[in-house]
Amino acid sequence: MPPATCESLIGLDGKALATALTGQGVAEGQARMRANQLWNWIYVRGAKDFAAMGNLAKDFRKDMGEAFTLARPEIISEQISTDGTRKWLLRTGPGIEFETVYIPEKDRGTLCVSSQVGCTLNCSFCHTGTQKLVRNLTPAEILGQVMLAKDALEDWPSTGTNRKVTNVVMMGMGEPLYNFDNVKAALTILTDGDGLALSKRRVTLSTAGVVPMIPRAGSEIGSGLAISLHAVRDELRDVLVPINKKYPIKDLLEACRTYPGASNARRITFEYVMLKEVNDTAAEARELVRILSGIPAKINLIPFNAWPGAPYECSSWTKIEKFAEIVNRAGYASPVRTPRGRDIMAACGQLKSESVKERASTRLAAEKLADMQSAQLARMP
Ligand code: SAH
């Protein structure tokens, strides 16, 4: 067993790997080649220990094993929904707990990745928003979520056909643009053709609207962009997504208009949560279409996912259909996102970690919620 202080190599790029090797006494001239070999084992083949690296000298493997680990986050629990969605609660240190969700579909598998433990944004309809920010996740912890999911799904090597994780969305806990450097480092390795090899088109970063960072996300990360819009007027958006007070709708949409790389082939996704009697009128649907005109956009209507104590309800199915029809007529195809994994609290906005033990009151609230949700699902076609 390596000593507990060992550093995990996961999250290091090629250059940092080489530096770590020279730090261990590997000669400068050798470090680059060795780093390339390690890189391939780590990110392409998904090796979990150095002993498995057959093409490397035995002594080298032993030295590596003594100095470093390839540890993934520790799995505290795994839950599997009746619809096949899987949620992992992970831990990387005392109180550092976060969630990752895998959503299998017919033609793809999407991994929803967290960028922070907790969040600073306090969006009033979001469960994560009720959890204070504990800290930013490191590149190792962000990428570790992908590595761990690929382990669990037996999805190695990363260059294989029939991949299980085909898409990654930065839509888990936290605001990725408030953890820009670490998210960028992780996504750079994720989209490296010689690494985890996911195309940038299959990676989407979702933001509540950290306007000054949007141009940098486009030019330095270059993934797809999603915006948590949720309201068409500032007075309402100020309440739902309080960061709007700092960066109002007009500024947000201006940043989208000039987002590097946006085109009709690479549209920006606008997420709009359907909240009963809050933001779900036909007039708001028309206004949504109007304010997005001129932006290469997709619209994603998200039926509100309940959580214990949430101050909102999901719009009625009739209201959602009516809203969707207006959006549809304006040329936006299939705009409603099917809720996935609601029974295990894995759906959009339900993620939250809790280091304290479950109390009876929490359990009762969860049971009540499950009843509410089955009633809600029964009303949907
Ligand atoms: N902070 C980023 C990343 C989180 S993505 C962002 O805000 O975009 C999570 C998505 O789920 C966001 O669009 C968020 O607004 C939405 N969401 C949050 N709570 C929700 C809920 N209870 N029901 C449905 N969607 C929710």
Please give the domain boundaries of the chain with CATH numbers for all domains.
7-69 (1.10.150.530), 74-378 (3.20.20.70)
The finding on whether 204 has its CB within 6 A of some atom of ligand 1 is: no
- Residue 17 CA to ligand 1 center (angstroms) comes to 35
Average pLDDT, the chain: 90
Average pLDDT of 258-278?
A: 92
The predicted-structure confidence for 330-376, as pLDDT tens digits, reads as follows 999 867 888 888 888 887 877 777 633 334 455 456 556 655 555 55
Catalytic residues: 99, 348
Question: Which residues, in sequence order, are CB contacts of 378 under 8 Å at separation 6+?
Answer: none
The finding on whether 171 has its CB within 6 A of some atom of ligand 1 is: yes
pLDDT at 342: 84
The predicted-structure confidence for 123-138, as pLDDT tens digits, reads as follows 999 998 888 899 999 9
Which two tokens mark 189? 């390795």
The predicted-structure confidence for 222-234, as pLDDT tens digits, reads as follows 999 999 999 999 9
Pocket test for ligand 1, best of 273, 307, 320, 340 (most atoms within 8 A of CB): 273
Pocket test for ligand 1, best of 271, 345, 372 (most atoms within 8 A of CB): 271
- Residue 67 CA to ligand 1 center (angstroms) comes to 40
Average pLDDT of 106-113?
A: 95
d(CA 99, CA 101): 7
The finding on whether 305 has its CB within 6 A of some atom of ligand 1 is: yes
For the ranges 135-144, 178-187, 301-310, the lowest mean pLDDT is seen at 301-310
The finding on whether 100 has its CB within 6 A of some atom of ligand 1 is: no
Q: Is residue 302 scored above 80 in pLDDT?
A: yes
Using the CB atoms, write b or e for 278-293: b if 16+ within 10 Å: bbbeeebbbebbebbe
The predicted-structure confidence for 15-66, as pLDDT tens digits, reads as follows 999 999 998 889 988 999 999 999 999 999 999 999 989 988 899 899 999 9
Helix axes 180-190 and 139-152, enclosed angle (nearest 10): 40
pLDDT at 3: 43
Phi/psi of residue 46, nearest 5 degrees: 75, 30
Read off the pLDDT band of 212 (50, 70, 90): very high
Phi/psi of residue 316, nearest 5 degrees: -70, 155
- The answer to whether the CB of 302 falls within 8 A of the CB of 271 is yes
Taking the CA of residue 207 as reference, the ligand 1 atom at the shortest distance is 8
The finding on whether 271 has its CB within 6 A of some atom of ligand 1 is: yes
pLDDT at 360: 45
- Residue 208 CA to ligand 1 center (angstroms) comes to 8
Segment 29-36 long-range contacts (CB within 8 Å, at least 24 positions apart): 34/60
Average pLDDT of 68-87?
A: 94
Q: Is residue 174 scored above 90 in pLDDT?
A: yes
User: In terms of DSSP bridges, do strands 167-170 and 68-69 run parallel, antiparallel, or are they unpaired?
Assistant: unpaired
The finding on whether 348 has its CB within 6 A of some atom of ligand 1 is: yes
pLDDT at 376: 55
Taking the CA of residue 312 as reference, the ligand 1 atom at the shortest distance is 22
pLDDT at 320: 95
- What percent of the chain is modeled with pLDDT above 70? 91
- Angstrom CA distances, 275 to 240, 281, 301, 313, stand at 10, 10, 10, 6
